[in-house]
Amino acid sequence: MDLKPTKPLSGFIELLPAQQRCFDECARRMQEVLKYAGYSRLDLPAIERAEVLTDKDNWDEIETQIFLFQKGDTKMGLRYDGTVGLSRFVAGHINDLAFPFRVYQFARNYRGERPQRGRYREFWQMDIDVLGIQGLSTNYDAEIVATLARMYESISDIVGSVKVKVGNRRFWNAMFEYLNLTAEQSRAVFVLVDKKDKISDFVEGLRDTVGADKANEINSVFTNGYRSFLNKTDNLDAAINEMDNFMKLLGVMGVKNAEIDVSIMRGHAYYTGIVFEFFSVDYPELPAVGGGGRYEDLVSKFSKTKIVGVGASIGVSRLLVALMEMGKIDLSRWQRPIDVAILVMGDDNLQYALTVESALRDAKIPSVAYLDADKKFKNQIEYADKIMAKYSMIIGEDEVKNKQVSVKDMATGEQQTLSVADAIKLVTGGAKK
């Protein structure tokens, strides 16, 4: 019989135990930042109705990046990010929530895009949002950025430092209005600006789209700076001042490595104001490792009440798994999760060994007992070596008789016989040898 494949599907992630412990530690630290920033966690369904995930009725025209399927008459899809499901949830529980509503999600998401380093078909993402009824101060946009900056700082010893680039959809909408671009031209320029760093001849693309004169004006945003368009129109002035004030607020909030980059557009169509993306300083070859922005119309699909939100997401898998694959994370600190291996010399000594194990676990000492007590000592000590236990506690007939344990330091080979209480002190650093 042919054996079935052991590798996961392309774009789906499997971590080894040390990698998973590193991943879990980073997630724990980031969620602790969110806890003290007053965010509540939501755990929403991974499957949504297709009509929730997309506005399109014809499945042949639905974005290929969404995993879609049908059960009976119900068309469904896997979530591709947390914002759409959150909008549905908030609209459905609008009378149960306190606004501004501060919330985060940490969940798997699914996209059918082509797998590559930093981009996966199944991935963990942390979504952070603040939502308000009727309106929401742009101060919350700055607070979201500051919160993400703290989250990245909490794991900087593992992944290095980050920088944040800030753009503004309102600025470009005002530019398109100032230049009298058509809706079709505006969409085309939006795509060009969004892909500016990946296009060999950005200016030529602009000229083909809007003509030479308007192309030169758009390009001058990058050559002369966005502030060169002050005093052109009221809407441009408002967008420019919004960016300047936003950067001042980030400074007050202690955000470092922040800069304006008006080429930051963010791909999602629902963003309407300030947008931002975080990038790795130490590993610039990575794509953006997080980002977000303001959205004002998304919840209107589900509720007549105007709900405004600002949100962001951290691509936890995109950052951590990519760095692991590149060999950039030192996993040595997560290689030794077990402090004590309890080695049992015969079935007659098993009951006492289990009481020792319980005492160690009560003392919050990670420990495992080798329960194949009939195996030779050589097999058991090799196991203790393989799991990188710091100590082994050997229990034989004499140890049971005297209610003691023989403790072996696996690094030095030194061995001594102690009471269980003294052995616990030794392991936890509470007693000298």
Per-residue pLDDT tens for 114-157? 777 767 899 999 999 999 999 899 899 999 999 999 999 999 99
| 105 or 120: which leads in pLDDT | 105
What is the predicted pLDDT for the residue at 114? 79
Q: What span, in angstroms and rounded, lies between the C-alpha atoms of 58 and 326?
A: 41
- pLDDT tens-digit series, residues 389-407: 999 999 999 999 999 999 9
337-427 CATH fold: Rossmann fold (3.40.50)
What is the predicted pLDDT for the residue at 64? 64
- pLDDT tens-digit series, residues 336-357: 999 999 999 999 999 999 999 9
Residues making up the chain, counted from first to last: 433
Please check the confidence at residue 298 and state whether its pLDDT lies above 80: no
What is the predicted pLDDT for the residue at 61? 44
Q: Grade residue 413 by pLDDT with cuts at 50, 70 and 90.
A: very high
Q: What is the pTM of this model?
A: 0.87
The domains of the chain are located at: 17-325, 337-427
Please check the confidence at residue 433 and state whether its pLDDT lies above 60: no
Please check the confidence at residue 39 and state whether its pLDDT lies above 90: yes
- pLDDT tens-digit series, residues 353-395: 999 999 999 999 999 999 999 999 999 999 999 999 999 999 9
| The two three-digit tokens of residue 133, written as one number | 């009824």
Average pLDDT over residues 110-114: 84
Side chain identity, residue 218: I
Please check the confidence at residue 230 and state whether its pLDDT lies above 50: yes
CATH code assigned to 17-325: 3.30.930.10
Q: 394, 384 in Cβ contact below 8 A?
A: no
What is the predicted pLDDT for the residue at 432? 46
Q: Grade residue 68 by pLDDT with cuts at 50, 70 and 90.
A: confident
Average pLDDT over residues 92-105: 95
Please check the confidence at residue 55 and state whether its pLDDT lies above 70: no
